[in-house]
Structure 1
């Protein structure tokens, strides 16, 4: 397909594994320690975090990462894990809430002030997050960036970091399960979500019709099918969470009006 840089079985993969293993263990350690002073950390959040980190690990190291170098289908499966499922699972683990209750009061206030800054408010605006997330994918697959990614270890790492970070920002901008400095209306978030899902589907069709540079048509068509249908499960969870929160927020008012 094209010349590949070494990202599996070498120093890059070792660094990735060390970082992910550290994150994998640090979260439950912090949760158990802080549970002595605060209420017990929910078990489901441990599971969300560990599964989310595992999804990142599967994408960046091991057989799936090696397969992604050889076949566009493997790459697209990794995209679904790294850019959609892992961000959702990690968002549901409420890492910022855990971080704030782990830090001392002064440091926690500094972090809170940072989250309230205009920069973070801009990044977590649903429209901004959608452009970074979906727009980044259009840039990756509709230009020669996809081919270039496998020729530079720096670019490879940067793009994969962006895919996860943009997916995480997109998720936390739509569903509020963690600390947030501001809240947008349900209607606004729902409209942005609908537009983003439509743009994601359109991109899958464009990949099917016009494969990225260096990708065989058969692989592109199969990968596009994975992108089109594979993300539906994560999208459905996002929709269910958003609708559930919306219902809980409005149902008490309806009951009050009736009485």
Structure 2
């Protein structure tokens, strides 16, 4: 593994992107409060978004970012922050709901239609999210893909981008605060989360034991990185499970009276969204 050749420029761009993301969210939250003072915008959402960006800053800026290029332990710590901890905080901030609140009605309807499109529904399926977030770890650590990615700055950024996007997708599908048109029931999501926990632990144990691992790094670094993956992943997945359980609101079904039809399902639009 070698040092990145664009470290200074990458640091500046990272800071600018994170600041823009923070500013855009704060501006949208303020606009949402002004549009409807009675509903406002939940301040804990703002805290969650800020915490997610702070975790990304820790992962993508020195001293951790340079270490992630040369030390497998640093890479794994970065992976945990970018792919598991930051996505949960960002998803709990409900950025899509906030976007729908502040957009003009016509644009909000287009965004809502995109969320209901077939590609979006397929991407938001738990099996797809699980394969992209956890399933790709096998391809990363048991093939030459990891060494290829960390050997080039662009490859490392692509790997980090994949960790972030796939982590956000899985957190959104399992316990997202934003509406999901075809989100399964809580018990079904718990099954997928349990599968992710088992697969993540199995991959970490295989990396620790050196079974079919294709990572060119000192053995002690690989084993300690696997420990970071195992224990850090457990904590992140417990936090995700806690976020999921807090959204569980069992529906009380009252028996339908003879001659009274069941109420029809209502499709919620952007103006129905809660913060």
Larger Rg: 2
Structure 2 counterpart of 1:135:
135
The verdict on how the C-alpha distance between 1:87 and 1:244 changes in structure 2, with shifts beyond 3 A counting, is same
Partner of 1:235: 237
Corresponding residue of 2:215: 213
TM-score of the superposition, structure 1-length normalised? 0.92
Q: 1:48-88: per-residue Cα shift (whole Å, max 9, x none)?
A: 00110111122112211122223211111111110000000
In structure 2, the residue matched to 1:12 is 10
Question: Is the 8 Å Cα contact of residues 133 and 170 (structure 1) preserved in structure 2?
Answer: yes
**What is the deviation of 1:110?**
0.7
Q: Does 1:84 align with 2:84?
A: yes
Instruction: Give the 3-state SS of the residue equivalent to 1:249 in structure 2.
Output: coil
Distance 2:27 2:246 in 1: 31
Per the alignment, residue 271 of structure 2 pairs with: none
Aligned to 2:250: 249
Q: Which residue of 2 aligns with 1:119?
A: 119
Residues 95-174 of structure 1 mapped to structure 2, 5 A cutoff = 95-174=95-174
Q: In the aligned structure 2, how far is the partner of 1:151 from the partner of 1:74? A: 15
Deviation digits for residues 147-200 of structure 1 (CA, Å, limit 9, x no counterpart)? 111222222111110100000100111114112222212222111111111000
The equivalent residue for 2:70 is: 70
Q: Is the 8 A contact 1:129 1:166 kept in 2?
A: yes
Aligned Cα RMSD in Å?
A: 1.6
Pair 1:196–1:222, CA change in 2 (3 A): same
Matched residue count = 251
Distance 2:14 2:51 in 1: 16
CA contact (8 A) 2:82 2:163 kept: yes
The answer as to whether partners of 2:88 and 2:171 remain within 8 angstroms in 1 is yes
User: Separation in 2 of the partners of 1:181 and 1:220?
Assistant: 41
Q: Which residue of 2 aligns with 1:225?
A: 227
For 2:32, the equivalent position in structure 1 comes to 34
Report the CA distance between 1:243 and its aligned residue.
2.5
**CA 1:129–1:7 in 2, change beyond 3 Å: closer, same or farther?**
farther
Rate the CA distance shift 1:81–1:158 in 2: closer, same or farther, 3 A. same
Structure 1, unmatched stretches of 5+, are: none
Does residue 94 of structure 1 match 2:94?
Answer: yes
Residues 140 and 146, structure 1, Cα contact 8 Å, conserved in 2: yes
Runs of 4+ in 1 over 3 A off after TM superposition: none
Gapped runs of 5+ residues in structure 2?
256-275
Equivalent in 20, 23, 34 of residue 22 of structure 1: 20
SS of match in other structure, 1:231: helix
- 1:68–1:74 CA contact under 8 A, matched in 2: yes
| TM-superposed deviation, 1:7 | 4.6
Which residue matches 2:272? none
TM-score (normalizing by structure 2): 0.87
